[in-house]
A and B are shown apart, each in its own frame.
Chain A
Amino acid sequence: MNHLRGVYTIWYRDILRFWHDRMRLVGSITFPLLFLFVFGSGLSARMGVLGPGVDFTQFIFPGIIGMTVLMSSFMAGVSVVWDREFGFLKEVLVAPISRAAVAAGKTLGSATIALLQGMVILLFAPLIGVSLSVGTVLTLLPLMFLLAVSLGSLGVLMATRIRSMEAFQAAMQMLMFPMVFLSGAFFPVQGLPTWMNVLVKVNPATYGITPIRQVVLGADPSSPYAISLFGQTLTIWNEVAMLAIFGITMILLAIWSFGNQE
């Protein structure tokens, strides 16, 4: 009961802050939309068809959703570093709520905002000729949420060890962009050079973005959107399980590390 109240309160504050700062929403979806429309329109004609009846813009659309969610969920870490820098973290740490609740509340807060931003991107589907059924959207939400919570926990974990905003932001960029670029968000992951193939396969974001694409564009195992590991073609459930394992590990590490900091 105590724990739930703590999680809720921490979550509530981050949502409240986000609401005060709604312009952040506009800012954070501008970049993905630029990617979608500029790269999409610029390259679609040259790239031809990337799947059954799917052009380049439509191909990267799920990748853009994944990218938006991923980048936004890292804000959980930024928010912890920010609170520490401005002293507010002390108010939270002396309160009678567990450190685990604080870590969980921060992660869930950023995951909620990430989900919201991902949903705003979804609204652009009709503009690029992607039709989404209600069922598709309802399947996407938990996938996006899982991706957000996993990477949000990674952000919180990093924030317990990296104390300055500048250092955190540098570390975040160093991690975030390779994660996005090597996730298959912008290109099919078949027939890649070995080094790149390895990086794509060890990148947890791959297992978040691939199922999103399969849900949006079709999950036929023979479709070009599937990925294979050790010669095995993965099902959506396989991918979700991989991401969930990563996510749970991150959450546990984040909670542990949060409880151990001074």
Chain B
Amino acid sequence: MNDHIIKVENLVKRFGKLVAVDNISFSVAAGEIFGLLGPNGAGKTTTINILCTLTRPTSGQATIAGLDVVRQQSQVRRLIGLVFQDPSLDERLSGLQNLRFHGLVYGVPAAVREPRMEQLLRMVELWDKRHHKVQTYSGGMKRRLELARGLLHHPKVLFLDEPTLGLDPQTRNRIWEYILELREREGTTIFLTTHYMDEAEKADRIAIIDYGKLIAMDTPEKLKKMVGRDIISVKTDDNDKASTEIKLRYQIEARYDGDGLSFEVANGEEFLPTFLKEFGTRILRVSLRRPSLDDVFLKLTGREIREEEVSDTFRAMIRQHGRRMRR
């Protein structure tokens, strides 16, 4: 895990006066799942576009497996796979033809390509629809096809720009199972953006970007610790007595909370077993709530990530119906 497959140093991208990416630096280890989080317009897609050679940075440097994304574009392109935020399929061709085209441009030999196409289409449950034109697919089916396509040529680094946008929960789960398996089996590095906090939790490390600047980068665990402590809610046969005892034993002030008590501890998972042993059968109910990534996001950006969900649905709608609106 020590060799860094993605290295970004002082990366800047300006669009006229707008600084879309503002001097960011980070690196991603081989085999890592790295999540880039941030509100709309924060610069996530722009960062990915630079890393995948589609956009030239204004200044700064980025390398993938030691290859410069500006000067060694074609070698970089061979190593990466992409699922774009916006649709990128040929709707006039069938699902199978889209995959075959991809296999051809990436030079995957037919003997490898054809079986793998089948395997991937079965995984995303589009095998039965493989001869249908993509035009006739639903939004979710198109997304699944794009994902299958991104995996066809065994990329070393897979960029996923909001890969599960607009997908139903079952499909999201299945895709995540596959992503995790892929990392396990082939050591693929995964660079991902998402607005879903439960997905972000699956990342090994998360970077939060806002107005083009990186404002935090760590494991989900540590980020959550940064914003606050774990909250334990407990109901006992005698709350008053328990409250006094908690104060005596742990020097913690408990609050009355509904029909029980709640109090904060630094490390809930370690605290809970001791607590249970000492209070034993007097506990009627106990729960541990940890600060979520939502709390982290809110604290760091001043915006709630859930606000994005409305616009997510809206954008999913545009993806399916209004493609000519976009340029």
Contact = CB atoms under 8 A, between A and B. Distances in A.
B84 A87 contact: yes
Interface residues of A, number: 29
A12 B55 CA distance: 27
Contacts of B289: none
A16 B87 CA distance: 21
Contacts of A161: none
Interface stretch (A93-101, A113-121, A217-225, A247-255): A93-101
A85 B102 CA distance: 19
B97 to A, nearest CB: 7
Contacts of A235: none
B83 to A, nearest CB: 10
Contacts, number: 76
A2 B88 contact: no
Nearest to A83: B90
B93 A96 contact: no
B129 to A, nearest CB: 16
Nearest to A20: B92
A98 B74 contact: yes
Interface in B146-160: 149
Nearest to B82: A94
B47 to A, nearest CB: 15
B4 interface: no
Contact of A12 (B54, B104, B324): B104
B304 interface: no
Most buried by A among B56, B84, B104, B149: B104
Contact of B86 (A16, A87, A98): A87
Interface string B304-327: 000000000000000000011001
Contact of B52 (A17, A92, A94): A94
Nearest to A13: B101
A20 B92 CA distance: 8
Contact of A87 (B106, B107, B323): B323
B56 A90 contact: no
B87 to A, nearest CB: 5
B97 A86 contact: no
B255 interface: no
A20 B94 CA distance: 10
Contacts of A9: 101, 104-105
A3 to B, nearest CB: 11
B105 A97 contact: yes
Interface in B240-258: none
A181 B24 CA distance: 56
Interface of B: 52-56, 74, 77-78, 80, 82, 84, 86-93, 97, 101-102, 104-107, 133, 149, 323-324, 327
13 contacts: A5-B107, A8-B104, A17-B90, A21-B92, A86-B323, A87-B84, A88-B88, A88-B89, A91-B149, A93-B54, A95-B105, A96-B105, A164-B327
- Lowest 8 CB-CB distances: which A-B pairs, in order? A95-B105, A87-B88, A96-B77, A96-B78, A9-B104, A91-B88, A87-B87, A90-B88
